[in-house]
Amino acid sequence: MIEFYLDSRSGVSPYLQLVQQVRQALRLGLLHEGDQLPTVKDVVAGLAINPNTVLKAYRELEHEGLVAARQGVGTFVTKTLAGDSLAAHGPLRRDLRRWLAGARKAGLDDESIEALFMTTFRTASQEDIA
């Protein structure tokens, strides 16, 4: 079982924070197939949030095929995200380190690197959409 938390300063909507926390737990192998997610009542009582927020997050996860609701029992993990992509992390991280070293050599400081990465990331995802 995992426990949710909310970061009110993150600017990310609460429902999305719940979704991301489940996805991350799946990626890191904290949640496995068959594990139960906290009940809506437990999440609501723990975080003092609107029930619809939790329902929406769980619906979204269900839509993504990551969990399934069993009537009257609860919501269960049906898929794991760790695995295939995990193997690719190593080489990608090496590439990224090489790139970071290049950026430092060119004289970029932390903020400039972050800004460059984020704008490129956003432009690339926008181009993917378009």
Partner 1 sequence: MTSVLQAQALGKKYGRRWALRECTVDIPAGHVVGLVGPNGAGKTTLLKLAGGQLEPTAGGITVLGGRPAAGPAQLAKVGFVAQDTPVYAGLTVAEHLRLGARLNPRWDDALARERIARLGLAPDQRAGRLSGGQRAQLALTLGLAKRPELLILDEPVASLDPLARREFLQGLMEATVEHAFSVVLSSHLVSDLERICDFLIVLADSRVRVAGEVERLLACHHRLSGPRRDPDRLSAGQQVISARHTDRQSTYVIRTDAPIHDPAWTVTRLSLEDLVLAYMDKRIAEDRPVALEVR
- Which of 30, 44, 69, 113 is in the footprint of partner 1 by CB under 8 A? 44
Beta strands in 1-130 (DSSP E): 67-70, 74-77
Q: Report the nearest approach of partner 1 to the CB of residue 21 (Å).
A: 15
Which stretch in 26-34, 43-51, 59-67, 88-96 sits in contact with partner 1 by CB under 8 A? 43-51
Q: Does 11 bind partner 1 (CB under 8 A)?
A: yes
How far is 73 from 76, CA to CA, in rounded Å? 9
Annotate 4-37 with b (16+ C-beta within 10 A) or e (fewer). bebeeeeeeebbebbbebbbebbbeeebeeebeb
| For partner 1, the closer CB: 11 or 107 | 11
Annotate 41-54 with b (16+ C-beta within 10 A) or e (fewer). eebbeebebeeebb
Q: Does 126 bind partner 1 (CB under 8 A)?
A: no
Q: Report the nearest approach of partner 1 to the CB of residue 83 (Å).
A: 33
Q: Does 14 bind partner 1 (CB under 8 A)?
A: yes
Residues that bind partner 1 (CB under 8 A): 6, 8, 11, 13-14, 40-41, 44-53
